[in-house]
Amino acid sequence: MDHGRLRIPRVFVAFRAIALVGGVVTVFFVIETKGRVLEELAP
């Protein structure tokens, strides 16, 4: 089996997995800032 042909698709699968994890983290853990001023967000 030629393993050279499988390297490029695996790279894109890895990128997709990382992007998916980042998207899920963003949706669940990043606060909404629309319509809020900086003073409301600063601790």
3-state secondary structure (DSSP) of residue 16: helix
Helix extents (H) in 1-37: 4-29
pLDDT band at 9 (very low <50, low <70, confident <90, very high): confident
Res 21: pLDDT: 98
pLDDT band at 2 (very low <50, low <70, confident <90, very high): low
CB 31 within 8 A of CB 41: yes
What's the whole-model pTM score?
0.63
Q: What percent of the chain has pLDDT over 70?
A: 86
**Chain-wide mean pLDDT for the chain?**
87
